Amino acid sequence: AGPTVMYRADMDALRVAENTGLDYASTVQVSGEDDTPLPVAHVCGHDAHVTWMLGMAKVLAGATDAWSGTAVLVGQPAEELIAGAQAMVDDGLYDVVPRPDHLIGMHTAPGPVGMVAAAGGPTLAGSDQLDIVFHGVGGHGSMPQLAKDPVVMAALAVVEFQTIVSRMIPPQETAVLTVGSVQAGSAHNVIPTQALLKVNLRWFDPQVRERLIDGINAVCDGIARTYG
């Protein structure tokens, strides 16, 4: 008898090479979208999240006379993609375990060892990942007038995005817009046909989220129209 409490520990890695030189540094590689090998490492604290969960499981299992209810401990993949939780639910998570009355998650940040930060109200932001593709017309670098350069469009978008938070979001609200990747072309003298921006958003208020997305759409549409 008692409440069902779920604790979620995300467990995926980031596509980052761990160059610490430590004996436990990750040497794992995975295949990228084009089968190119990419290094991955636990550099966002997810190894700590799983360690906490295992420690919690040991303590709870050894002290069942001190609590009553149902504890559900979940190792969640694909948190960085903002896809793992939904995928687990879609795959029948709640056919296997009961739906929780309370769901708890923690995160790490640089700070003193042994310190835990807690506060009333929201503490972890909502997040979105956006892939933005500028479609141009490829051509030779010596004849840009015959092309429509998506690299220039993408570069302008990166710069104009900076005004969305600073000039469209109320100063008392919290919002972050980060361009984490710019991908375009492969040769010095060839104008490519498209450019890709990978964008991450952070927000607490759903209305702020909508304003960020509206601002991104307005910036991109305006640049696309300007450059034909």
Give the DSSP per-residue string, 164-185. HHHHHS-TTS-EEEEEEEEEE-
Residues 6+ apart with CB under 8 A from 185: 151, 191, 192, 195
pLDDT digits (tens, 9 = 90+) for 123-158: 889 999 999 999 999 999 999 999 999 999 999 999
Per-residue model confidence (pLDDT) at position 57: 96
Q: What mean pLDDT comes out for the span 207-218?
A: 97
Q: Please, what's the b/e burial string for 139-175 (b: 16 or more CB within 10 A of its CB; e: otherwise)? A: beeeeeeebbbbbbbbbbbeebbeebbeeebeeeeeb
Cα diameter, the chain: 78
Work out the mean pLDDT of the chain and round it to a whole number. 93
Q: What's the predicted TM-score (pTM) here?
A: 0.75
Q: What are the angstrom distances between the C-alpha of 11 and each of 50, 74, 80, 103, 114?
A: 6, 10, 9, 17, 21
Q: What is the pLDDT of residues 187-196, one digit of tens each?
A: 999 999 999 9
CA–CA separation, 149 and 89 (whole Å): 42
Question: CA 191 to CA 57: how far, in whole Å?
Answer: 56
76: CB partners within 8 A, 6+ apart: 8, 9, 10, 11, 84, 85, 88
Mean pLDDT of 25-44: 89
pLDDT given for residue 94 in this prediction: 96
Handedness of CA 31, 43, 25, 51 (dihedral sign): negative
pLDDT of residue 197: 98
Condensed to tens digits (0 to 9), the pLDDT of residues 153-190 reads: 999 999 999 999 999 999 999 999 999 999 999 999 99
pLDDT of res. 123: 80
pLDDT given at position 201: 97
